[in-house]
Structure 1
């Protein structure tokens, strides 16, 4: 069953169909810019004799009833040769239906993506069909370290954080780049990022978030941006207590560090300005 990472990458592609052209240009070396807007179509890939098939995202260039080109975009958390053969079936079915050029782009966080072949073939009697694949794995997704590049293409930058989140320079550029976007866009892309990155990268972004005055509106934002406010309050409280030489036991320090109630932390901070011992702080 597809998980959150799969579904979130799919949403990013549907919101930014130009990612298909980016992958084909940079990974497969095909410049397919041409007439007709890109739009997302229903992912059903069936004809009267086929079994039901559903692509993750189907993008058409030009009119949907008579497209100039079609792009099948698949998201694979773990690639397999079986899936590559299935993509060939998708492409063949679409060509039979529309008689238009078909391209398949696979977006994958799988570190083994580079090990898979650039083409796949199926033979049925005298008929052999071959599909050239465009696989955009972690090695093909760029490590974006320039905030201006993040702001210019936040969809690709979000995939960059997924692929290269272990690089804190990528994470910092991502947060700085998003900060220049309108409130709704930066919160949307950050929410996408949290749906596809690992826990280690989440912690890094949360720490960076604590240094930025992000607006808090959505439930997601309240959870993550609020966590930044809590972290700031804890650090401030401990600093005040240290400056006043108020000694804390291990349990008392743990009580402060593990507190997630911002109002409680604010109350303790007010008391810390006058307290001479921990008892007065927690009274």
Structure 2
């Protein structure tokens, strides 16, 4: 079963495809800034009983022409994958008739080293009949971003830095710089990037650090005015007003994450979320919304 961490490793490229021109610098691949990036259907099935689905498929238009970029998230070494990747490349080329590149995104060095191999699928007497060499992004070539200013300048790359360095000793500094950067961008985008970061961190200890930063340090993107009033000390009336605003922010975050993950929210569930005034309950729902497969799972374990 495909997990949330796997999904996040390639969904970041769907949400911010413009980052490729910058990320490719780490791979020493010359690529001009794209004038157009199109998200294409990921279903590469040709024979009905056999389903072949690439994680993400993008069409780039650059100064030198067009090409397809297949993005695969890989969490561990899998001997069955190279033949599947070769199929994706051949079928996408046959379908769209333009050059194709495979990019594999890994969150640990062993998997990245394995994925970087040149794979020979032809026989020993004619190995050149079919060979494949993916581009690979992993801990060794994705930059460690611990400077908030650098993270703010390229938030998608900062998210990828967190995902691919989840097990590195510097992960706390990476997450703090990313949290600070999210303060500076559009609130809706910040929610999506925050969700993708948590998904990409999987079950690592860094995921708990990130949840703490989101619930305490950022307080779910409270306005600067709210933060200033907290620092200066508030009257009871102001505190109640801000608490109400935070409750609404929690509810909005839950609904935004479910919407970003294409999870349907029926009217009764929507009302339950928006009418809840218990922030502890809302925090629990928010955490579950990042991994739930249905809205009913968000409420799992609640006392009704």
1:127-166 correspondence to structure 2 within 5 Å: 128-165=129-166, 166=169
CA RMSD after TM alignment:
3.2
128 and 37 in structure 1: CA distance in 2 versus 1, 3 angstrom threshold: same
Partner of 1:108 in structure 2? 106
Equivalent of residue 210 in structure 2, options 201, 205, 213: 205
Aligned runs of 1:49-198 on 2, under 5 Å? 51-62=50-61, 68-116=66-114, 117-123=116-122, 128-165=129-166, 166-167=169-170, 168-197=172-201, 198=203
Contact kept? 1:151, 1:178, Cα under 8 Å: yes
- What is the match of residue 38 of structure 1? 37
CA distance in 2, matches of 1:81, 1:68: 31
Higher-Rg structure is 1
Deviation at residue 58 of structure 1 after TM alignment: 0.6
- Do the aligned partners of 2:107 and 2:138 also contact (CA within 8 Å) in 1? yes
Q: Post-superposition shift, 1:128?
A: 0.9
Superposition deviation, residue 68 in structure 1: 1.7
Alignment of 1:211-250 (within 5 A): 211-213=217-219, 214-215=221-222, 216=246, 217-219=249-251, 221=253
Q: Distance in 2 between matches of 1:118 and 1:19?
A: 24
- TM-fit CA distance, 1:79: 2.9
CA separation of 1:79 and 1:38: change in aligned 2, threshold 3 A: farther
Structure 2: 5+ residue stretches without partners: 223-245, 255-278, 283-304
Count of residues in correspondence between the two structures: 223
* CA contact 1:4–1:195 (8 Å) conserved in 2: yes
Q: Corresponding residue for 2:26?
A: 26
Give the direction of change, closer, same or farther, for the CA distance of 1:5–1:112 in structure 2 (3 Å limit): same
After TM superposition, give the deviation of residue 192 of structure 1 in Å.
1.4
Unaligned regions of 5+ residues in structure 1, if any? 223-258, 263-283
Question: Deviations for 1:66-91, whole angstroms, at most 9, x for unmatched residues?
Answer: x8211110111113232123212211
Answer whether contact 2:42 2:57 (CA < 8 A) is retained: yes
